[in-house]
Structure formats: structure tokens, C-alpha cells
Chain A
Amino acid sequence: MVIKFFNNPEKMENLIRLLMQGVGVTSKIFFLTLIFSVPLGLAVALGRMSRRWYVNKPISFYIYIMRSTPLMLQLLFIYFLLPMVVPFKMDRFVAVIFSYVINYAAYFAEIFRGGIESIPSGQREAAHVLGMSRLQTFWRIIMPQAAKRSLLPCTNEVITLVKDTALASTVAVVDLMTMAKKQVTSSSSVEPYLVAIIFYLILNGIVEQVCKWVERKMNYYQ
């Protein structure tokens, strides 16, 4: 291996600065995906549990597609094909966010559904005999308990999301992965990859700590 960066502070600093730009884009993808896919996932979960077939069947089908095809393929499909269908030009960054959101919403939906369905029916019944409405029962009784039960599987999903952001490089959005790749190509050294690995480790280290903190917050009851 040819050492080109690690023995040259100036080059190293420049590399880190460039990769930090990538981290910025990666974080943007990460946060935007989370912000939209979690609420959407909850809505999808509710639709999936609907008793009306014309609601739950199409939603099951949507979840099936999202979970059964590669995210990379979904991303390419949306990036190349959707602009032919929709009347406006789709920015590549928007294409990335859009495909990540609809993909992750499907996964979150299944996690939330699992959490909601794992709440014993007695909880619903107790709320019902107290005269609580279905909406009150859901938000006050079911959801807080389901959220706690969904937390651990969600942590997994969020960690995966940090890594999945790297797929944005397929449509040339300049995230951490793309930036690292560019530097490797131009310098013919793999050092940028090593630095990128460290960045991903740091990012997911933070994610893990945040999830642990939320977990502790939710541990006020058993």
C-alpha cells in the first residue's frame, strides 16, 4: 500500500475536510429519511392493520415490494424512470430521499405493527370499558407501550440506515462514500476508505449512544 495521506499532514487535513463535507451530505440524507419515514411508517402500519381490504391489501403489496427488492434498484428505478412519469424534473438528491423514505417507511411500518399487535388485548378492553375513544386508546394507551417495544428493532434499522446512505453514490450524490471513492480514484491509495470507515464507525457510535439514552428514558416501567 502506498502511503500518501497519513504521512502528510497537509494532505490529510484536506482529505478530512473533503470527507467531512461528505459526512454533511450523509447526515442530511440520514435525518431527512428518518424525519419522513418514521411518521409515514406509522401511517403505513395503521393502514396495514386496517380491516378494510382495499386499504390493507395495497399496503401489504407496497411493503412486499419495498422489502423484497434491493434498495439500490429502487433508487435507480426512481432516479431514472420517475422523471419520465412525473411532470417535474427530479433532483438526484430528492430522488435519494424519496426512495429511502418509502423504503424505510415499509420497514418501520412492520416494526410498529409488531409493537402495536404485541400489546395484550386487555389494554384495549380496559380503555374501552372506561369509555375512552379509539383515538384516545391508541395515543394514550397503545402507542406509548408499542413505542417502547419497537425501540430495539428500530435501533437496528437506524444503524442500517447510516450504512445504506452509502448507496447514494450510485446516483452520484456526493455523500461520504462518494467522496471517499473520488479520493481513492484520484490518489490511487485506499487510505480515504480507511478514514471513511472510521467516520461511519463514529456516526453509528453516536447513533447507538442516542438509542441507548432513549431506551433508558423509556425504562421507567417494566
Chain B
Amino acid sequence: MLRAADIKKNFGDLKVLDGISLEISRGEVVALIGPSGSGKSTFLRCMNHLETVDSGEIWLEKDCMCRMTDGRVRYSSEAELRRINMRMGMVFQNFNLFPHMTVMQNLIEAPMRVKRESRAAAMERAKEMLASVGLADRGGQYPYQLSGGQAQRVAIARALCMQPEIMCFDEPTSALDPELTHEVLAVMRDLAEKNMTMVVVTHEMGFARDVADRVVFMSDGVIVEQGTPEQVFSSSNPRTMKFLQMD
């Protein structure tokens, strides 16, 4: 469904992504793990067009984000990119809720402005999504009134309100203490059970082991190995073993 082919990206002289190819099927939950600086977050950000790649192709089914022509990467038009972005949800480490809007306004802003939905329709779905993350009674509050775990759950609900086909998570629990981490992971587990396609950059090995269908281990801008959680967590690859022992 989502296909990235031979993605390369440099920050100056630093090769952050050195030829990453990854294909994600509908309904699959993929966990991207690896040491800090391995490029997994950058890769996810490229998928969401928050970074541009230096070379490689990204396709969401038949919609092209970027492709190679004559040896150079070419991005699609702004409108096309927005259409692709709308099909993908993204959850950030720092939540990035809009602080000047209530929870409800955060949730209905994009459906109303981008999808041109009526306020009533947008609010109805927003309420549903808030309930599904266990925050049905928080619609009228501002982000500063929420705990980190609640804020992150609102951010997940906000992404879901656009009815994305894929949900991307960029270290969604890294800013949270263990207790709050738990409530966010519970919501994500829930999503996985509902067959949402998910790409999760995470340091939560427990989550990767229990929830992911596939674990992808990255290091130094390349995919070292991938497979089912069982395969990767019992890997005999020295690089993978070193990382998992350190964790």
C-alpha cells in the first residue's frame, strides 16, 4: 500500500538515509526500531513529506509523492502532495496540538477546512474519536489543561478525524513517563486491533514485540534486518543483538 524505494537523504555530508526500501501492506503494523540517529524518524518524516528525499520513490498505492526521472527525484504537485498527506495520519513525539484551540477545535479544524465537512458532521466524528481514546469529556478544554498522555491521545484522535488509511507514529511515547506511556500504548494497541495500518517509530520494545506484525531494525541509515518480532528479537545478527542487549 505504502511503498518507499531506495530512499536516500543527506544532511550536509551526513548520510541519514542510505537506500531504504520498505513496503507496507494494508492492515499491517510495522515497528521501526534502532538506535538514535539511525534515521528511522527521518524516514518516517519523509513518508509524510515533512522532509524531502534526495533520491528514491514514495508511492501511496497509485498516488505518487515523488519519483525518479532522468536520475533526479521529482515531487508531485502541491495539491497532489496534500491529497496524499490527507490519506496519512501522523502523531508526533511532542503532540503538536494547537494551543490556541480547544480539544474539539483541534479535532474539527482540518476536517472542516481541508475536507470541507460541515461543522455538525465533523463534530460528530470528533466526539466519536474522543470517546475511542477515552477522553469523551475533554472536548472543551485547552491543550495546556491536559496531561502529556491525554494530549497525545487527543493528537491521535485528531489524526483519526481525517480518516487516514495509514497512521504514522514518531516516537509517540518518548516524552511521557511510564504511566502515561501505558495509556497511549493502550490506545495504539486498540487501533492495531481495529486493523489500522500503522508505522511506528518506537523505543518501546514491549510494544514492538506484542503488537507489531513486522519489526524493522535500522542502523546508520540502512535497514539491517526485518521480520516478525520473534525473528528480530531472537536475531543472531551482531548489530541487532548489540542494540537489543543495550536496550
Select one of B99, B109, B143 contacting A130, CB under 8 A. Answer: B109
Q: Which residue of B lies closest to A133 (CB)?
A: B82
Q: Digitize B95-117: 1 where CB-to-A-CB distance is under 8 Å, 0 elsewhere.
A: 01111100000000110011100
| Other-chain contact of B144, A133, A148, A221 (Cβ < 8 Å) | A221
Q: Which residues on the B side are within 8 Å of A130 (C-beta)?
A: 85-86, 109-110, 114, 158-159, 162
13 other contacts beyond A125-B92, A128-B85, A129-B88, with CB at 8 A cut-off?
A122-B96, A125-B96, A126-B92, A129-B90, A130-B109, A130-B110, A130-B158, A131-B83, A132-B109, A133-B114, A140-B113, A220-B100, A221-B142
* A136→B85 CA distance, assembly (Å): 15
Residues on the A chain within 8 Å of B98, using CB: 123, 126, 141
Residue of A131, A221, A222 contacting most chain B CB atoms (<10 Å): A131
> Per DSSP, are chain A's interface residues mostly helix, strand or loop, or mixed?
helix
A141–B158 CA distance with the chains assembled, in angstroms: 15
* Cβ-defined contact, A129 with B85, below 8 A: yes
Taking the closest CB of chain A, its distance from the CB of B35, in whole angstroms, is 23
Q: How far is the CA of A148 from the CA of B162 in the complex (A)?
A: 28
Q: A221 to B83: give the CA distance in the assembly, Å.
A: 32
Q: How many Cβ-Cβ contacts under 8 Å join chain A to chain B?
A: 68
| CB-defined contacts of B50 to chain A, threshold 8 Å | 125, 128-129
Q: Establish whether residues B90 and A131, one from each chain, have CB atoms under 8 Å apart when the complex forms.
A: no
B99 and A145 form a contact (CB under 8 A): yes
The 10 closest A-B pairs by CB, nearest first: A130-B110, A126-B96, A131-B86, A129-B90, A122-B96, A131-B114, A222-B144, A221-B142, A131-B85, A144-B100
- Residue numbers in B under 8 Å from A145 (CB-CB): 99-100
- What is the size category of the interface that chain A forms with chain B? 20 to 34
Is B49 in contact with chain A by the CB < 8 A criterion? Answer: yes
Instruction: Determine how close the nearest CB of chain A comes to the CB of B164; give it in whole angstroms.
Output: 9
Contacts of A126 in B (CB 8 A): 90, 92, 96-98
Write the residues of chain B forming the contact surface with A, with a CB cutoff of 8 angstroms. 48-50, 82-83, 85-86, 88-90, 92, 94, 96-100, 109-110, 113-115, 142-144, 158-159, 162
Q: Within 8 Å CB of B85, what residues of A?
A: 128-131
Chain A hits for B82, CB < 8 A: 131, 133
Task: Give Cα A132 to B158, complex, Å.
Answer: 13
CA gap between A129 and B96 in the complex, in Å? 11
Partner of B94, one of A122, A129, A131: A122
List the interface of chain A (C-beta within 8 A of B): 120, 122-123, 125-133, 136, 140-141, 144-145, 148, 220-222
B100 smallest CB distance to A (angstroms): 5
Q: Could you say which residues of chain A place their CB within 8 Å of the CB of B113?
A: 132, 136, 140
Closest residue to B45 on the A side, CB-wise? Answer: A125
In the assembly, what is the distance between CA of A129 and CA of B90, in Å?
A: 6
The reply to whether A128 and B49 form a contact with Cβ atoms under 8 Å apart is yes
Q: Write out the residue numbers on chain A whose beta carbons fall within 8 Å of the beta carbon of B92.
A: 122, 125-126
* CB of A154 to closest CB in B, whole Å: 17
A131 contacts B100, C-beta separation under 8 Å: no
The residues of B that contact A148 with a CB separation of less than 8 Å are: 100
A-B contact pairs, 26 of them (CB 8 A): A120-B94, A120-B96, A123-B96, A123-B98, A125-B50, A126-B92, A126-B98, A128-B50, A129-B88, A129-B159, A130-B110, A130-B114, A130-B162, A131-B82, A131-B83, A131-B86, A131-B110, A131-B114, A136-B114, A140-B109, A140-B113, A145-B99, A148-B100, A220-B142, A221-B100, A221-B142
A119 to B, closest residue via Cβ: B99
For residue A130, give the distance in angstroms from its CB to the closest CB of chain B. 4
Whole-angstrom CA separation of A130 from B115 in the bound complex:
10
Inter-chain contacts of B94 with A (CB < 8 A)? 120, 122
